[in-house]
Amino acid sequence: MHMDNVQILGFTGQIDSVNDTLDKVNSIKGNGEIIQLLNADSIVSANHVFHGVNQAFLAFDRGENLANDLSVEIVLRCSAQRQISKAFKLLGLHEGNMNLCCVLINCEDHSDDLSALFTRDDGVLSADVDNLKRVYKISDVELENMSVEEVVIDRISKLAVDY
């Protein structure tokens, strides 16, 4: 399993049905391509997502994956969670208006297809530190020595150590 050509795109969109939205996105991707949608409000940065994706691929390579599906493993790693339900609570889709982080792995250029479903806006990938402190339960003490991004990436890395 190789992680070539990772793209991280920001979008806003109205989700009327999570299942319908996922079906539409799945119809876009070709064989061997991964398109994973994440709640951008819980994303610190593109670095955060790259690290989570890399850790997901490494976990599969080592046979230490927590999920049977690579897309689910990406959600687990990016959320720094071991439990799928908690991971999707943090990073999963919900009905209503959403800021979306779209992770494309080993994909052709699908930005036009995705722009037909959502409105392109990479600004949604900018961190809201107060929200992220709440979402990831980051204390002010932790932030005395590390940035929010460093704390979240550290927690993602610890998932591998705690295996």
pLDDT digits (tens, 9 = 90+) for 94-142: 999 999 999 999 988 898 999 999 999 999 999 899 999 999 999 999 9
Residue 89 belongs to what H/E stretch? Answer: helix 84-91
Q: Write down the pTM of the prediction.
A: 0.91
Task: Give me the DSSP letters along 19-32.
Answer: HHHHHHHHHH--TT
Taking CA atoms, 78 is separated from 16, 52, 108, 152, 160, in Å, by 25, 4, 23, 9, 12
In whole angstroms, what is the distance from residue 14 CA to residue 50 CA? 25
Query: SS3 of 42, please?
Result: helix
**Could you report the per-residue pLDDT of 35-77, keeping only the tens digit for each?**
999 999 999 999 999 999 999 999 999 998 899 999 999 999 9
**CA 40 and chain centroid, separation:** 8
Is the pLDDT reported for residue 163 higher than 60?
no
